[in-house]
Structure 1
Amino acid sequence: MFDTVLVANRGEIAVRVVRTLRAMGVRSVAVFSDADADARHVREADEAVRIGPAPATESYLSVERLLEAAARTGAQAVHPGYGFLAENAGFARACEEAGLAFIGPSADAIALMGDKIRAKETVKAAGVPVVPGSSGSGLTDEQLAGAAREIGMPVLLKPSAGGGGKGMRLVRDEAVLADEIAAARREARASFGDDTLLVERWIDRPRHIEIQVLADGHGNVVHLGERECSLQRRHQKVIEEAPSVLLDEATRAAMGEAAVQAARSCGYRGAGTVEFIVPGGDPSQYYFMEMNTRLQVEHPVTELVTGLDLVEWQLRVAAGERLGFAQEDVRLTGHAIEARLCAEDPARGFLPSGGTVLRLREPEGDGVRTDSGLSEGTEVGSLYDPMLSKVIAYGPDRETALRRLRAALAGTVTLGVQTNAGFLRRLLAHPAVVAGELDTGLVEREVDGLVATDVPEAVYEAAAAVRLDALRPRGDGWTDPFSVPSGWRMGGEPKAAAFHLRVTDPVEHTPRGTHTVTGDRVTVTLDGVRHTFHRAADWLGRDGDAWHVRDHDPVAASLNRSAHAGADSLTAPMPGTVTVVKVAVGDEVSAGQSLLVVEAMKMEHVISAPHAGTVAELDVAPGTTVAMDQVLAVVAPTDDTAEETA
């Protein structure tokens, strides 16, 4: 076994790998960019090395700097986590050439399975069923269109080099096929530097089932059962569970054997995942989609139902050990479900969010596990992936696991950064989810009913309570009577204090209930119902939801509107970095014209002109870091537009 392992990643996965290294008595080395100098994974590792400035291309994606860090600290092996370089064949090969053990499969296996076209051809030759689709690499637009017509609509266009849903396009109408192929190529080229596409038959209301495999370097390969990953949004998983309620024992065994054959076909070593798409109406008709040659985000649910530590077995296999068990020794006991907690705002279309974690409470207790990279004071920026942590619940059955996970999400507090915890809690209570009637389109179909857009009156009541409490006199000294919020006024009846507040739209709120403010808790009672909130600065949280309640100055807002009369201010929809500026002050623009691009957490958002007019102000340039709602530009409308608006 290795003495020292360098963890070439950050956030919750780095913390999770360090935890197993510590349990095994192996020294851990963390790496960090300037943005992560005080991050939790840095503090928890035995040693930490700075590898560069904040941009990932100059730090976490720099093979040279990672290898230097390994050499400086005497590491014998590198664990890549997931994301960044975890599925980069060049990095795996560079580690091997530097005399370091890469804790993962061989570079050849990564390269083979990273090419979706070659991967399909390889596993098909091994007898694994694949989704009907195009064959061969480097197909022209005409060849792709011909394959699509032969398969029959609807079809799915997929980048051969991609993953995570980027560049995937569902085409139902043959008339738009050429345009969709061109668009998919652009997205693939921008995301992966490779615009090679394949086309596959689209399966309506599919379920996404993946099989965890584990292989050593001595020819032993086993599967550890399946995970259901059908709850997705924009092709990104949000909830995963093990086992799946869809599969019976016979189908589970058949899919497991197919996954084992897929792993053998590429000479796999270590932990990996074989992903299948399954028609919900006939689970016996399963098809290979791809193989992820790394540890998966959702691996904890497999650990909980098998009792195995997958990171430990990754290390043991990389150190040359044999698997200590056979397929017949694998038992699935109980049920586990995982929710991905991300820095995003469901009420704003799931745009990335950011900020400083002012108050943190992560769930724990019987049957609950949290894998997290957070701590109070953590600065969540726009440079890296938005996933902050994972909350996992385990129980003897699915009903218990669901109940525990909903309760865990309700008790999750991350004030200062908006997250999707409340959305996930409501999703887990949806009747179809409770019944196990899942498919990959369910979240998108039901999303409007799962997003809380209205601000409850109790939130404003709690915010007013905090402000009233701050105005109350403290101590035994003299109190200015004009500072006491009694509602007294000269020559009239007392009038209750009113507060101008804003979450989204401005509200004038007059407290009408009873309230108590104690430390970081606020309790208000309205209409006989008691509500308890966590608080930090201007943030309030309850049941996984959080609200940033700011003071609103109606006079200043009115003056600002007057200053920009006849003009529209364009603001940043999320904290991020301006990557593209297409106009200059004085330029004439048309309605809907793209003016700027803001990027955050691997997501781009185009800022367009709200109407025809002239760019009157432009406050940013490429590379400018912006806060949410920061004014980026002002477009003064043309006379005709102004008259129409009036």
Structure 2
Amino acid sequence: MMSGQTPSGGTFRPGTPDPETSDPVAFDTVLVANRGEIAARIIRTLRALGIKAVAVYSDADEGAYHLDRADQAVRLERGYLDIDGVIDAALATGAQAVHPGYGFLAENPAFARACERAGLVFVGPPAEAIEAMGDKIRAKETVAAAGVPVVPGTTDLAQAAQVGFPLLIKPSAGGGGKGMLRVDDPAGLAEALASARRTAAAAFGDDTLLVERFVENPRHIEFQVMADRHGNVIHLGERECSLQRRHQKIVEEAPSPLLDEATRERMGAAAVEAARSCGYVGAGTVEFIVGDGEFYFMEMNTRLQVEHPVTEKITNLDLVELQIRVAEGHPLPMTQGQVRLSGHAVEARVYAEDPVRGFLPTGGTVLRYREPLMFGVRFDSGIAEGSVVGSSYDPMLCKVIARGADREQALRLLSAALSQLTLLGVTTNVGFLRELLAHPDVLAGNLDTGLVERHLDELVSTREVPHEVLAAAALERDLSRVGGTDPWDIADGWRIGERAWNTMRIGDAEVRTRAGEVAIDGGEPVAASLTADSAGRLKLVYAGVGHTYAWAKDGDVVWLGREGDTWVLKETERLDAARHRDGSGGDGVVRSPMPGTVLVVKAAVGDAVTAGQALIVVEAMKMEHTVSAPVDGKVTELPVRVGQRVDMDAILMVVEP
């Protein structure tokens, strides 16, 4: 039975017990077939249950955060998708079960069957349930037969126009929004179908498409379901996941501010029937589109979701623990009537990405990381100071979850937690998240899946660097040189007669400093002083006002953070801002807009190219970015090749105008 849970009456809807699983077993060791915050979160529960946790890792993750949390770690020669490697690691370490986490192998029926053949318990649903829900067409047919409402649509592409416009094209085998296309009129239908088919074939190895009616201004609401091997299925309430960008969730909350109790009961019952329809076991999520007062089944994720902590916060349950107990063969420790929802919880996903540069993935080494200790706030993290964030995997660094007595308090607490989070060394979306949480429509609960894209310009700040931040960076340069015994090393501008100015360029600004004063871009000198404390913070007094910054250095680069904003500053020559936005400059130098791997090179030295012509494709963290020629000219340098890893702003090509 789950710790802290005591059933108090009620009856389960009867099912058909499996005689082979009627007697529960107790796991001694469980292998976690995932990485990062996913693996760290699962390992935390396993350790709390007294179960040994085995971690696996790829070469790119050697020394990763989750490895230190496990009792044992095994290297996978061919990476996380290597089914045979994972099975061999589980058997070699004496594991009785494998927890697949959220992704990678979690929704792979072949992996579930491989575990079964090896005598290992797969902590998840039967392979047949994964197959039934993994194919969007088959999933719709299965749940529709059980009476669950589905979005009108067709798999007969010749009849696609009959669905009505606007319509949505979806790869049947896809997920995460990849390959989904909206079509607003018949003129663009044929081209969109061809494009979606190509994307589906390349991404999923299956070009089967599904065409559905596009629901205008929809809300994305999902229900957490749990099922055991004895025929018992319940739901644990809903999560609102409407705040998305490019079909990827950003902020999730529970319960939804939209649903009343009657609608919640109807949707919850539909979610339970969807799970029953495929013989589900374990934790799963039934996702619905809600619009025009109706709800429709969208898909079922046959695994634990990234956003599951908000459900844990309002139910006081550990969903990983429930997964483990169900996998051991225990019946669910509660009935539907015993599920209680209390308070409100909101989660924000912190990504290694740069909103100002179109949310391109970033990377680097985590130089400073501090999670604030706040009542009602939880951090699920896969990083620590010294962690290297590369381009091989998903860019999510951590999740911040806040619970309040009501929605207003939860939102306020989450924003405060983000403002006090220190994460330097990797550019993140924390500032963007705080802007989103403060948006009037978000505060009012007027959500839909297009809200973020509609308001992107006002949510992404491109403000100039404040003068006090420039002053802190300039004075930090002087401060870092103090401490030697030679007075001639001190950059205080001393000379006979009076102190002179030290002049430097930081980004686009000219900054002059001398003892006790700073002048920026030719302005009047302002009184300023800077000190560092033992906690790694800089304390600036600028024009009589105090400012405190989180602080880290990487060579000659200074990282400063305050209230969710981060500045990366160095003494440098003036840089062309347009080049840094799109990876190319008017001087003909083509640079990488993000750290990643060169996927395609479309020109060679000596080739003539025209401005705007696609030259190189760089891939990182599941995202491809095409870099174009900045000017008409001839390619004179090509220092990279296909398959080469490159850093952000690395020179990819030089075009002589």
Q: Which amino acid aligns with 1:90?
A: A
Q: Find out whether 1:46 has 2:54 as its counterpart.
A: no
Corresponding residue for 1:643?
none
Q: Which amino acid aligns with 1:321?
A: H
Distance 1:385 1:288 in 2: 27
* 1:184-583 pair list within 5 angstroms: 184-279=196-291, 282=293, 285-454=294-463, 455-472=465-482, 474=483, 477-480=485-488, 483-488=489-494, 494-502=499-507, 505=508, 507-508=510-511, 510=513, 511=518, 512-519=526-533, 520-537=536-553, 538-553=558-573, 567-583=587-603
Q: Matched residue of 1:286: which SS?
A: strand
Q: Find out whether 1:173 has 2:185 as its counterpart.
A: yes
Q: Which amino acid aligns with 2:276?
A: R
Q: Which amino acid aligns with 1:219?
A: G
Q: Matched residue of 2:539: which SS?
A: strand
Shift of 1:185: 1.3
Corresponding residue for 1:60?
80
Does the Cα contact within 8 Å between 1:513 and 1:524 map onto a contact in 2?
Answer: no
Q: Give the aligned CA root-mean-square deviation in angstroms.
A: 1.9
Distance 1:460 1:358 in 2: 20
Q: Could you state the TM-score of these two structures normalised by the residue count of structure 1?
A: 0.91
Q: Find out whether 1:27 has 2:52 as its counterpart.
A: yes
Any stretches of 5+ residues in structure 2 without a counterpart? Answer: 1-25, 519-525, 578-583
Q: Which amino acid aligns with 1:152?
A: G
Q: Which amino acid aligns with 1:514?
A: A
Does the Cα contact within 8 Å between 1:465 and 1:517 map onto a contact in 2?
Answer: no
Distance 1:601 1:105 in 2: 28
Shift of 1:267: 0.4
Does the Cα contact within 8 Å between 1:31 and 1:48 map onto a contact in 2?
Answer: yes
Q: Could you state the TM-score of these two structures normalised by the residue count of structure 2?
A: 0.90
Does the Cα contact within 8 Å between 2:586 and 2:630 map onto a contact in 1?
Answer: no
Moved more, 580-589 or 327-336: 580-589
Distance 2:386 2:641 in 1: 29
Q: Which amino acid aligns with 1:21?
A: L
Distance 2:287 2:561 in 1: 37
Shift of 1:11: 0.2
Q: Which amino acid aligns with 2:243?
A: L
Aligned with residue 157 of structure 1, among 149, 169, 185: 169
Shift of 1:554: 6.1
Provide runs of 4+ in structure 1 moved above 6 Å.
none
Does the Cα contact within 8 Å between 2:503 and 2:510 map onto a contact in 1?
Answer: no
Corresponding residue for 1:606?
626
* 1:35-114 pair list within 5 angstroms: 35-52=60-77, 58-114=78-134
Q: Which amino acid aligns with 1:215?
A: A
Q: Which amino acid aligns with 2:532?
A: T
Does the Cα contact within 8 Å between 1:364 and 1:370 map onto a contact in 2?
Answer: no
Does the Cα contact within 8 Å between 2:33 and 2:98 map onto a contact in 1?
Answer: yes
Distance 1:595 1:486 in 2: 48
Corresponding residue for 1:2?
27
Give a deviation string over 1:66-95, Cα, whole Å, max 9, x none: 111011101110000011111111111111
Distance 2:90 2:327 in 1: 16
Shift of 1:530: 2.6
Q: Which amino acid aligns with 2:474?
A: A
Corresponding residue for 1:641?
none
Any stretches of 5+ residues in structure 1 without a counterpart? Answer: 53-57, 558-563, 638-646
Does the Cα contact within 8 Å between 1:167 and 1:184 map onto a contact in 2?
Answer: yes
Distance 2:501 2:129 in 1: 71
Give a deviation string over 1:312-371, Cα, whole Å, max 9, x none: 111111111101110000010000000001100111111000000000012332000000
Distance 1:293 1:231 in 2: 22
Shift of 1:456: 2.0
Shift of 1:565: 11
Does the Cα contact within 8 Å between 1:594 and 1:608 map onto a contact in 2?
Answer: yes
Distance 1:46 1:515 in 2: 48
Change (3 A) 1:110 1:517: same
Q: Matched residue of 2:110: which SS?
A: helix
Does the Cα contact within 8 Å between 2:635 and 2:656 map onto a contact in 1?
Answer: yes
Give a deviation string over 1:572-631, Cα, whole Å, max 9, x none: 000001111122111122332221110000100111112332111001001111000011
**Overall identity of the aligned pairs, in %:** 62
Change (3 A) 1:507 1:298: farther
Corresponding residue for 2:143?
123
Distance 2:179 2:479 in 1: 52
Does the Cα contact within 8 Å between 1:589 and 1:615 map onto a contact in 2?
Answer: yes
Distance 2:310 2:126 in 1: 25
Distance 1:270 1:417 in 2: 36
Q: Matched residue of 1:376: which SS?
A: coil
Aligned length: 608
Corresponding residue for 2:23?
none
Change (3 A) 1:418 1:331: same
Q: Which amino acid aligns with 1:16?
A: R
Distance 2:595 2:645 in 1: 8
